[in-house]
Structure formats: C-alpha cells, structure tokens
Structure 1
Amino acid sequence: MMNWQQLLSDARWGSRHRSTASPQKNRSNYDRDYGRILFSSAFRRLQDKTQVFPLGRNDYVRTRLTHSLEVAHIGSSLGMLAGEWLAKKGSLPAPIMPSDVATIVSTACLAHDIGNPPFGHSGEDAIETALKRHGLELPFEGNAQGFRILTRTGDPMEGNGLKLTAAVLGAFMKYPCTQSYSSAVRKGSIVAANKLECKKFGIGEQEREAASFMAGHLGLIPRSTPDAAHLCWSRHPLAYLMEAADDICYRIADIEDGYFSGLLDFASTRDLFSPFLTESQLCYVRELEAKEEKDSCIHYMRALAIGKSIQSAVDSFVNHEEDLLQGRLEQSLIDSSELAAPLNGLYQYAIKNVYQAREVIEVEAMGYKVLGELIDFFMEWVNHPSSGQSQKIAIMLQGTGVPRNNGGKAARLEHMLDYISGMTDSFALETYRKLTGIL
C-alpha cells in the first residue's frame, strides 16, 4: 500500500549531483518545478499547437497552451481541496501543506500535453502511419514523449531534462508502464493488475532509469520485477486528479468552443450544461436569454459546470482514497463521480458534433499530409546519413542536438522524432512548404 510520506517526495531527478536543492524562502521545490515547466521552450511551443479547432479560426478558441493553463488552474483547485481533506485527517507529513499538494497537481497539469505533436491528436497517428511506410512498427505516444521531455531532452542546462521532483513526475504520469508492457497486456500475455494504468504507455526505452528513480522514491506499487523487460507500476494517486482536471476542462471547454465557433446552437449548448445548474441558476439563465445575452449565458454555465465538476471529482477522490493508495481504482475520478453521466454526455455530443466538423477534419488531414512528407524527407538522413541530401538535412538540424558523428540509426531515428514532434503547427507547415516549393 502506498503512503503519503513517500508519495510527496521532492527528490529531484536529472541533476548530476542527485541532491535535493534547498527550497527558497516562501518557495517550495514543487513551485520551482512549476517555473521550470512554464519557462521551458517545449511549453512555449504549445501556443502554436492545435487543441481542437484550426489555429487562427478566431481569437476565442483554445490552443494547447491556453488549454494547459486552464487545466493547471483546475488542477490547483482539485489539489487544494484534496490537500485540505488530507491535512484534516492527518495524512500530510510535515512540513507539507495543502498548498503544496495544489502545486504538485497544478504543475503536472501544466505539463500534461507537453509531448503532443503538431496538429492535435491526429499528429500521433500521422507519425505512426508515416513510419510504417518505412517498415517501422513504432507507436508514437504523446504521454511518453512528454515524460521524455521532462526527464531527458527538455532544456538540459545541466544534467537531464528539467530536473523535476519525483512527486510532480508521478502526478504527471497517467500510464506508468513501458510500451512493451502495455502491448503484452493487450495481447493477453500479461494479466494487468489495473488495466487503466496500462491503457497506453508513458515510458520510453531510454527513460526506464528515470521512471525507476521516480517510482522508487514515491513507493509506487511495482507490477513487474525491476529487471523485467516490461516495466509497470501503479499510478500515483495525484495522477488521477491531474487526469480529472484535463477531463473536466476539455469536456466542458470543447462544448463552449463549439458554440463560439458556430458549430453548436445556443439551445443545444444550454441543454448540455443544464444538468450542472440548480433551478435558481437556470432561472437566471432564462433571464439572460430573454435579454438576448446568450454569450453571457454560455460563459456563466461553463463556469458553473466547471465548479460543480471540481467538487464532484474531489468527492470521488475522498471516497476512493483507500483504493487509490492500494492501486485498485480502475476508473477515472470523473467516471466514478456523481457527474459521470452529464460529463460523458458532453463528450459524446462533442464527438458527433464538434470533433467531426469539416474544419477539424481538414486540420487532421493536413497533419497527415504535412507530417507524413516531413518524415519521408528526414528518413533519408536516418537511413543514409552520408548521402548528399542527408548532409544538407544535418545542417538544417544544427542547434537541435544532432547525435555526435550522426550516431547510430536508432539515435538518428529518436532525434528525428524529437524534432518532428516538437514542431509547432506553423513551423511544420512552413517547413513543408519550403521543401515542396509551395510559397
């Protein structure tokens, strides 16, 4: 069984000295982590990555950056409420305070999409499809790429990655397993102790040491032996809060964006949000509607839906704390909450009426085309680093940590995927246009 003493460890991964820096006055180690992510180049690039709607459609819809900031804010509220409850029952070890729990969850939320490629989630499929054309069966997973950025490749001024605390890394990791473990579970060769934690994978082969460091300091429950080919641990309980913040944010915000993008009418949007409102609140909505203040209605209902969902997720956390500490909860906090039905209703409606909109599909199709041809171009360097074209590609990659002497093929492939997935939508499109002569 996990315990909060270990689960809130501020042992820091990646520093050459492997020591925990003393927190500054009025600033915890977890708060330092928040700053490291906020000021990282990988986080800044999220401002030019698609969330759902095409960038530039209008100034209202969310990008990956604004989505991440909103998720971090919701995560802070979830962490504070959960932390206050833990403190009241005496579970928080000294000198940890509820605000520290809030910062851990908020920091994990801030980074939750940091490994996503350009052009939304379809970018992951586009990368996998392009690699298959080259005979490479390599799944690309944004969660694992995010952990790679945080622990290995992100702004390495000294040591590896952003050198974050174990608690923040644990709260960040939704899927604490390697690709081989997740694949073995799907094939039935391994019986998972908890299928939720290995639905996808969050640990790349080069990040196994970082994952072991994190899991060891946090006391996560091992699902495999340390020397096994397939690694997996239980989820950190706070990862459920990070997941809940993301679930709340995109399910509610995507409906709001759908309305302001003209895809959803007012009546449908109002009906979707109505289950989150009390009768008196609905009366106020009707008053606003009568005054033709429909936009204000949507803002008001969205805010109330988020507030009620936050409390519902915390209630679920409280009700399932023992299962969380024993690694037994196989549902998300949202799916096990009293608001599971209305929140799922928002998601299902968005699937049919928002995510399948023409302009959304066009972005996904463009992503397939652009990323596919970029990978085809850069694979020349991966496969034949000494060719004339590859020497020019190497010049294009200068400044991005090209493996010394071009490295081996595996190193070149990893570097190429880091480079492609780290592109913004605009940079990927600009590079594609230059390569194809489209100006």
Structure 2
Amino acid sequence: MAPALSKPSDHAGAAYASDPTQTRGRRFEEMESRTRSPYQRDRDRIIHSGAFRRLKHKTQVFVYHEGDYYRTRLTHSLEVAQIARSLSRFLNLDEDLAEALALAHDLGHTPFGHAGEDALAECMKGYGGFDHNAQTLRIVTRLEQRYADFDGLNLTWETLEGVVKHNGPVISKGQSTAHLPRAFREYEGLEALDLHTYASLEAQIAALSDDIAYNNHDIDDGLRAGLFTVDDLMALPLVGEMFREVYDAYPGLAPRRLRHESIRRLISHMVEDVIGETSRRLSALGATSSDDIRNANHQVAAFSDEMQRHDKALKSFLLERMYRHYRVNRSMSKAKRVMTQLFELLVSEPNLLPDEWQALTDGARTQQTAETVCDFVAGMTDRFAIEEHRRMFENDPIFR
C-alpha cells in the first residue's frame, strides 16, 4: 500500500490571486492528485501532451530548415512561462496557473506561423473559419486522446477560461455567441466560461508575458538573420536607449554580447513596468478576490501608457523590417501554398488521409471532413507538412 501523503501546501497567494483550493473544478470529475495542486496537474498534462511536443518543430517566423538557432513555438512558450512565473511570484499570484497558461497558449497554432494560420483560415472560410485560440481549446478539450475516461486533458475551469479569455472578454454581457468560433460556442454549451468577463490575473499576466517574449526574441532573431542592424534599432524609443546604454558602458563589446545584454535589459525594463502598472491598478481597484479581477471593467495587468507607446513603436518596426521583409515573404508564400494545396487535396480526396483520420470523415468537401482535415493539417509540424506536400505533389516540390 502506498504511504499516506499530505495534500499540496495550502494556498498562500494574494487575496486577488487564483486559489487552487477554490477551483471551479473539471468538467469530468476526478480524484485530485495527492502530490500536486490542480493547477500543477494542469501544467503537467499540458507538458505531456502531443500538441506541446509538436511545438518543437513549429516556427514563429523562420521555417525550420532555415537555421537551428531561431525560436520555435516550443522555445517561445518556455520563455513566456519563465516571464509569467517571475511576474506571478512578485505579484503573489498562483505561479502554476500562470505557467500552465503560458505553456498552453500556442498549442493551437498551425505550422509556418501566422502565414499557416492565414492560409488555413482562408481554406476554412466556407466551413466556419479557423482561429488558433479556438483550436487550442479544441485540442485540450477534445483532440488530445490520452486518458481512458475522457477526451482532451480535462483541465480545470480556470485554465480553460484563461485559454479562451487571456486577451480579454470575447463577448459583451448579453451578446450572442453566434459570431464566435465554433469551438467556443460548442464548449459554452457544455460548460459556461463566463465569456463576457475578464480572465484571472494569472491569465492576463501570461498574455503580457507572451508580448514581452516575442517582441524581444524577434529583435534577437531579426538581428541574427541580418534583416536589420543595431544601428536601425537606435532610433526606436527605449530599445535604442537600451542598446546605446550597453554600447556606451562596454565599448568594443562583441556584437553577440551586445545583442544579448541589451535584450536582457529590455526584458527586465518591461517586466518592471508591468509590475508597477499592475500594482497601481490593483491598488486603485481594491480587489479582494479573483472574481473582483474578472468583474473589473478594464484589464488589470497591463503596461503603463508610456510602455504601450514603446511597444507599439517596436511592433511597427518589426512589422516593416522583419515580418514584411522580402526573404520572409518568400518563405511564407511557399508555406501558404503548402497549407492550401494540402488542405484542398485532402478535403477533396479524404481517402488519402491516414486510416485513423479517414475514419472521421464522411465524404468529399463536407463540413465534418473539412473540420477533420483542418485538425490534421493544423497539427502538423513544419517539416511534416513539407514532407507530406512532397509526397503528395512529388513532381512539384516547393521547398528545395
């Protein structure tokens, strides 16, 4: 017989933090773990999921074969989780919930970054569309099939809420859900996620951590790829200040060290700004429970007005100098063709799908078949999509 174990330690977070001992539970009732809190268990289920492992070969901007040092969805998710944990620890929130949401936030992304998502959204126009947040919900509630008693990961209500609402409410109070992605509507019929309210502070922190991580790693990747230079960054507010500060303090510093030291300081500056602004908003709100955060009429975790201006300037720079760079455009154009051609072939000829996927279809170009093909293609890694395309269109290889 297993030795008796004590429950995980009692909740000791701030009054406005999510309390794992007060979770609204899971859709399918389970005995909770004797060694982990409900949110720790959520985090572990996400890490062990097939969708999380596939993030290793799903890219942000650069297709996998372009270099081993560029970020993937997996390395990005780990960076987001680190920032979210640090912020949550300082603000006395539940670190495990914030980490679980940071690790889950990209599960629904297609191969080839936003280019893949755009292509799949276009393919699915006549079948209800495609949205990566809705796909994440679909993955964790339905597509992952690891457990004997239920489909999905059976995550807590608070984690599912954060998956859906980390960027804010998705409807206004009393508004119809008819315009929402199908996955949101379907799950709302099974378990209400209070779509008109904000999510927990942990979810809001995870969303901001995503912003901090991808802005800064895109600076790093863009410099590494030669899409722009340090001199180009000098005109940007805050970013230029950080690089100039390091350049002046360490004359002659090697470019790689200059890049890493400047980005490290930039991340720290953004993190400290979030702590200051969020603390100010918490004080003004006088929140005494996590529901006070949900029912606020504004986001509580946020950048200051000044940092929002810096963030906007950086995003505009990256859009023009990186995301729209002709080298990136060429790669993403190829990626869109891979996604589009695979979808069109498989939705027209579902008998080309692997047996377990083919069993879920019901004929060419039906709603059910389109959704099945969408799930299949969205779940691919970059390299698997390229290989599948090569196998299907052997005489017309796109990536050489």
TM-score, length-scaled by structure 2: 0.81
Unaligned runs of 5+ residues in structure 1 are 84-97, 183-191, 224-232, 382-389
Q: 1:194 to 1:104 in 2, by over 3 A?
A: farther
Indicate if the aligned counterparts of 2:360 and 2:372 stay in contact, CA closer than 8 A.
yes
Unaligned runs of 5+ residues in structure 2 are 1-14, 286-291
Question: In structure 1, what is the Cα distance between the partners aligned to 2:266 and 2:83?
Answer: 12
Q: 215, 232, 248: which is aligned to 1:251?
A: 215
Indicate if the aligned counterparts of 1:119 and 1:425 stay in contact, CA closer than 8 A.
yes
**RMSD, aligned CA:** 3.4
Question: In structure 1, what is the Cα distance between the partners aligned to 2:336 and 2:246?
Answer: 45
Query: Residue in 1 aligned with 2:26?
Result: 13
In the alignment, structure 1 residue 124 sits paired with structure 2 residue 117: yes
SS of 2:128's equivalent in the other structure is coil
Q: 1:268 to 1:209 in 2, by over 3 A?
A: same
Alignment of 1:58-97 (within 5 A): 58-83=67-92
In the alignment, structure 1 residue 106 sits paired with structure 2 residue 99: yes
In the alignment, structure 1 residue 374 sits paired with structure 2 residue 367: no
User: Shift of the alpha carbon at 1:306?
Assistant: 0.9
In the alignment, structure 1 residue 138 sits paired with structure 2 residue 128: yes
Indicate if the aligned counterparts of 2:16 and 2:293 stay in contact, CA closer than 8 A.
no
User: Shift of the alpha carbon at 1:377?
Assistant: 1.1
Indicate if the aligned counterparts of 2:236 and 2:314 stay in contact, CA closer than 8 A.
yes
Query: Residue in 1 aligned with 2:66?
Result: 57
Q: 245, 248, 252: which is aligned to 1:286?
A: 248
Question: In structure 2, what is the Cα distance between the partners aligned to 1:315 and 1:177?
Answer: 20
Mean CA deviation greater in 198-207 or 290-299: 198-207
Question: In structure 2, what is the Cα distance between the partners aligned to 1:151 and 1:37?
Answer: 11
Query: Which one-letter code corresponds to 1:139 in the other structure?
Result: G
Query: Residue in 1 aligned with 2:152?
Result: 161
Alignment of 1:8-407 (within 5 A): 8=20, 9-15=22-28, 18-24=29-35, 27-83=36-92, 98=93, 101-132=94-125, 136=126, 138-158=128-148, 159-174=150-165, 192=172, 203-209=183-189, 211-212=191-192, 215=193, 220=194, 223=196, 233-270=197-234, 272=236, 274=238, 283-288=245-250, 290-321=251-282, 322=285, 324-329=293-298, 333-334=302-303, 336-381=304-349, 390=350, 392-393=351-352, 396-400=353-357, 402-403=359-360
User: Shift of the alpha carbon at 1:20?
Assistant: 4.6
Indicate if the aligned counterparts of 1:69 and 1:110 stay in contact, CA closer than 8 A.
yes
SS of 2:227's equivalent in the other structure is coil
Q: 1:373 to 1:23 in 2, by over 3 A?
A: same
Q: CA-to-partner distance for each residue in 1:225-277, whole Å, 9 max, x for gaps?
A: xxxxxxxx443333211110011111111111111111111222355475586
Q: CA-to-partner distance for each residue in 1:135-193, whole Å, 9 max, x for gaps?
A: x1522000000011111212342312112122222233236899xx76xxxxxxxxx36
Query: Residue in 1 aligned with 2:370?
Result: 413
TM-score, length-scaled by structure 1: 0.75
Query: Residue in 2 aligned with 1:425?
Result: 382
SS of 2:323's equivalent in the other structure is coil
